[in-house]
Amino acid sequence: FSQRQSDENTGFIAVENFTSLVEHHELQLDPSKLDMLLALVQSNEDGQVCYQELIELMSSKRSSSFRRAIANGRRTLQREILLDETGLGLYKRFVRYVAYEILPCETDRRWYFHQNRLCPPPVFIAIVTIVQIIVFMCYGIMLNKWVLQTYQPDFMKSPLVYHPGHRAQVWRFFSYMFMHVGLEQLGFNALLQLMIGVPLEMVHGILRISLLYMAGVLAGSLTVSITDMRAPVVGGSGGVYALCSAHLANVVMNWAGMRCPYKLLRMILALVCMSSEVGRAVWLRFSPPLPSSGPQPSFMAHLSGAVVGISMGLLILRSYEESLQKQCSWWVIVFSFITFLLFAIFWNIFAYELLGVQIPPPP
């Protein structure tokens, strides 16, 4: 390639010459790289291939023009689909499953599959889940109560629970995600965030997924402080629903390209489970089984987390390599979220006194 890197030293090579070199090369190229080379040729509209693009591709980097070709869907792969590969180890089979679960494009799936590395591991969701389980077990043992823990006064005295009477303690707007009403809420949240959050983090990285999760958590507590001003908040449902709604919306938007098995059935089951959890939260809020024996946490965190997932999550999951900073719509979403954040801060400072809201005394 280096001897014929360009036509007349222009830095470009004609597609016909490039194709001939690819078809008659003597080197043992990675089959996945060969697929990418052919895809790069087919995506080119100017009849030329840049030598720098070739170098970046062979060194496991995708140039901006190649990313655009992938985004525009103007290329095809010559080999069979990724599912047909045999003789894979357990980890690579799991990576292949994740690729088909998360990515809607075969070239993206193939690229992710061959470039995936075990380091860094998807630690964010795992750490959050472990901490939630540990905190729940500590309070369960201490209170000798494993369901409807909010009806235990000592539970509500925790410095982690968001309570409107303690809203000046800013960390509570985040830390409430480690507390749960009972075993059923913890089990539901832990199962969903592990099943959906871990594959998402493997593909999109810890920064994007932690941002999405924490944005859902913060939006949950702030929304409750505005719409349900007397209610406390516990549970990580805001972050969980942000992950779930972002993934489900991504599947719907790329329905034809998704190759995850039984996607329609799984979509229906996920929606039924999420709707049931919201319905349960609404029931606990307005018709608690033990009236006046304890506060009823709000359900608005579930809904606000879903809104964050659909709005912010779709942009985060649009492409696992595309830079968020280069997307104009991303900055629109960020500006909207910051505007909501500022409004919620002023609301929490002034609205309670102006509206004369009678807040239950904090524990």
Q: Which amino acid is at 83?
A: L
CB 276 within 8 A of CB 344: no
Examine the residue annotation and report whether 237 is marked as an active-site residue of this protein.
yes
Is 32 an active-site residue?
A: no
Distance CA 167, CA 359 (A): 11
Is residue 298 within 8 A of residue 231, CB to CB? The reply is yes
Residue 171, token pair as written in the block? 């960390």
Please tell me the distance from the alpha carbon of residue 306 to that of residue 219, in angstroms, as a whole number.
10
Contact 235, 262 (CB under 8 A): no
For 13, list phi and psi in degrees, rounded to 5: -130, 140
Catalytic residue among 175, 210, 237, 245: 237
Compute the distance between CA of residue 304 and CA of residue 240 in angstroms, rounded to an integer.
11
Catalytic residue, candidates 163, 180, 247, 302: 302
Catalytic amino acids? Answer: 237, 302
